[in-house]
Chain A
Amino acid sequence: MAQDPLHVLWIEPGFPGRMGGVADWLTRHRGYRSTFYCHTTAPRSHWPSSVGRGLDIETFGVGGAARDQAVAWSRTLERGLCYAYGCWEVLDKKRPRPIDLIVGRSSGLGSSLFAPVYWPSAPVASYMDYYFAPHQHDLADHAAPDMRSSYYCWRRSMGAIDLLDLEQASLGWTSTEWQRRLYPGEYQPDIEVLHDGVDTDLFRESAWHSRGAGPRVIAGRAIPDEVRVVSFVARTVDRLRGFDRFFTLAGKLMATRQDVICVAAGDPIVRRGLDVTFHNQDYPARLKADHPSVDRDRLWLLGSVPPATLAELLAASDLHVAPGRSYPVARSLLEAMATGCVVVASDVEPNREVIEPERTGILINTSYEHTLAGTAIKILADRATYRPLGAAAAALVRERYSRAVCLPRLAERFSALVEAHEARR
């Protein structure tokens, strides 16, 4: 199949976000020209290498309800429309052209919704993240019995922007089959499962994992061989990704073994509106305040770190823990597997799609704290026995989830989409 160079207009609320890495790979390996429209950008240390060399970034402002610190839940879509309008305004002013394809990732904000007003002739590919079930998955599985009804109303309303995106899109795509099945039955046949891949050049099987030897450094600090490193990574270290469980586990492990350090990477501020209890709060600080006895010298909270630091951490980790709730598989889980970490993850459907229990990782029922702690203690006590799990995980990611495997497929799909669109015109 053709994998022609295309000029793609990428639209996502933040850069690099999820699409930035994809745009970078396609720019470097398939000759794409990428114009990336976003509202915010991460620090330059997080940017991929092709920025300024085929990948250009344009930022757009937002007005109206999107400028308010907080709005009523019923105005969520209105906020999204402010993003969409802000993006359109800059498009109309800067007038990039010619555009072969628009790739949008709404992230619940619908930023790409009005891009076709500017450029109606290009097909739109919309990346679909997550369709809310009113009473299921993520933190809804753990909502208090007296949770107010507006919480469920809000959840029922959150799919609206996704429905608009899907109606507008020539292609809806998502990363996993589990995510696809969350969407209403009428839309599922039109959503393709195409994983966007992990960077296996950066997250590659480390010497520590493959041979059990080699220097280990985490955020500039050397780690002696005898020290056991337990890692946790999330974009924001929140309940959704199970940081509360990791925190409890860390306390138990550090009490059990003096040679353990527990390291978490990720923004401490809860950014996802899904966690209505702790939204915009420093969640680790809250947990530490509630549990002052935790050994802070051995619980390292790195905050949000550049990809290279993340790779260091995972390369040095003896056990990677992903005890999150039922939610799309974190990219960091696949990155940990790619580096050859032994992974213990919660036994939820999305994780079962990527982890084969006892072969590429261990799935546990995280409802029982002792199960997680017991499993972790066994792994740390006998690293060699569990090392094959990490090797199998790394092989799996190389074969199924590396960018070198996933993104040529995506490029083929994009080319076919553009060709079909042109043929219809």
Chain B
Amino acid sequence: MNVLFIHDAFPAQFGRLALELVRRKGWDCRFMVQSLSSCPTPTPEMLRELEIRQVPLAAEHRTSDGIPWPQIHGHFLEHCRTIMEAVRSTSPPLPDLVVAHGGRGAPTLFLREVLDCPIVVYCEYYFATHRRDISYRIDLPPAEPAQFFPRCINAPTLSALVDCDAGYSATAWQRDTFPARFRHKIKVYFDGIDTDLYVSGRSSRRIGDVTIPPGARVVTFASRGLESIRGFDLFMKAAQRIAAARSDVVFAVAGGEEIHYGWDKLHTGAPSFKQWVLGQDSYDLSRFFFLGRILPEQLADVFRMSDLHIYLTAPFVLSWSMLSAMASGCVVLASDVGPVREVIEPGVNGLVEPLFDVDRLVATALRVLDDPAAHAPLAAAARRTVLERYSVETCIPPLGDFLERVAGRGV
């Protein structure tokens, strides 16, 4: 079977999936992407086995500084048109199935003009007007577009969803963010965590040039961007108090300073949420290692040295990093929100506390750091959870079968 994967970036959600489909089912997987990702980067095997065509947007539709929210739909349509023209010019064979992702709607809307095959869209998320995602942090100063953005941002998502044959979400919580009328069309299949890479064991105990002394406790925090939706500010508040309580703790923070979601620049007036947060208090930065964006292999090493991983997301798409940390045998302390609760059973395979309750976050963190042995069963259970429910080995077969059913129009 010939499958065309469409995504902004490669490998992102589809690279590993496609590689597994090539290996396991012998499918021919092609990609149309705007760019190759730097985090994570494509593996040599992916580049060897998969046909990847970069289809950049026309120069006038590219921007490095975000798209003004009223123009997002137009940008989406231009992306749809670019993809349509690219498919039109593709040499045979034509795909038997299209699988497409778009953070703001899969760019498949015009493909029916040039293709007659089923289309599957990856239903990542449907934005809410309140109490979720970028509307959740009402504790921050108001940002003017926040009132309007959620009322129009879903237009591309809805258009693609109406048009597609089937969709899938990585978690039930994500699926349930979509309007109820569409849920029959959206199945739940997780992408798959690489449990060979993210595995517990000996770490280098080195962060950059610094060697972590034996006996020191390492607390980790990871997020693609250090931003409010992932609770970076709340982590820093908690970390400061943990640092005050224990002199042997260091904090390894992975993530860039880019803002991927929300209005942090408007909330704060600062170009970097991280810098704004650091300016709010006097932190002992000698205890913090800000690693920036790092490769998966480096992140896996950081997780292996972690005594406690803190994950403080608002109700939003669950980060791969939390599951990767669990796969690595970390004790995870996370915010008590819907997407986390789908994975973590408190006291069994991790710990949760209310997102804004820094007192409780600190108290729980200190209990873990005071007695790691007592909390080791949580880490073991976390690893088991990922192996049983979220590993590549577990997730790819049913997802492949689903795609096969859709290709046969069996949905």
Contacts and interface: CB of A to CB of B under 8 A. Distances in A.
A276 interface: no
Interface stretch (B156-164, B234-242, B299-307): B156-164
Interface in B151-196: 151-152, 154-156, 158-159, 162-163, 179, 181-182, 185
8 contacts: A65-B70, A78-B73, A81-B70, A153-B84, A157-B159, A163-B155, A164-B155, A186-B162
Interface stretch (A22-30, A69-77, A353-361, A378-386): A69-77
B154 A75 contact: no
Interface residues of B, number: 28
A74 B74 contact: yes
Contacts of B71: 75, 78
B159 A160 contact: yes
Given A84-B148, A163-B155, 17 more contacts: A72-B74, A74-B74, A74-B81, A77-B152, A81-B148, A84-B152, A113-B151, A113-B152, A114-B147, A116-B151, A117-B148, A149-B113, A153-B84, A156-B112, A156-B113, A159-B162, A186-B181
B119 interface: no
B110 interface: yes
A75 B74 CA distance: 5
Contacts of B181: 186-187, 190
Contact of A153 (B73, B77, B163, B185): B77
B109 interface: yes
A150 B147 contact: no
A168 interface: yes
A38 to B, nearest CB: 20
B128 to A, nearest CB: 11
B148 A152 contact: no
B134 interface: no
A163 B162 contact: yes
Interface of A: 64-65, 72, 74-75, 77-78, 81-82, 84-85, 88, 110, 113-114, 116-117, 134, 149-150, 152-153, 156-157, 159-161, 163-164, 167-168, 184, 186-187, 190
Given A81-B70, A164-B151, A167-B179, A157 B109 contact: yes
A163 B78 CA distance: 19
B261 to A, nearest CB: 20
Nearest to B180: A186
Contacts of A161: 155
Given A74-B81, A186-B182, A190-B181, A160 B73 contact: yes
Interface of B: 70-71, 73-74, 77-78, 80-81, 84, 109-110, 112-113, 147-148, 151-152, 154-156, 158-159, 162-163, 179, 181-182, 185
Contacts of B152: 77, 81, 84, 110, 113, 164
B158 A153 contact: no
- Which of A77, A85, A113, A152 has the largest number of chain B CB atoms within 10 A? A77
A164 B154 contact: yes
A391 B158 CA distance: 46
A157 B155 CA distance: 10
Interface of B, secondary structure class, is helix
A164 B158 contact: yes
B113 A153 contact: yes
A159 B74 CA distance: 13
B151 A117 contact: yes
Contacts of B156: 160
A157 B77 contact: yes
A78 B70 contact: yes
B80 A153 contact: yes
Contacts of B185: 186
B66 to A, nearest CB: 15
Contacts of A184: 162
Nearest to B153: A164
A82 B70 contact: yes
Contacts of B80: 153, 157
Contacts of A113: 151-152
Nearest to A188: B181
A72 B81 CA distance: 13
Contacts of A164: 151-152, 154-155, 158
A168 B151 contact: yes
A160 to B, nearest CB: 4
A328 to B, nearest CB: 20
Contact of B70 (A64, A150, A152): A64
Contacts of B163: 156
A150 B110 CA distance: 9
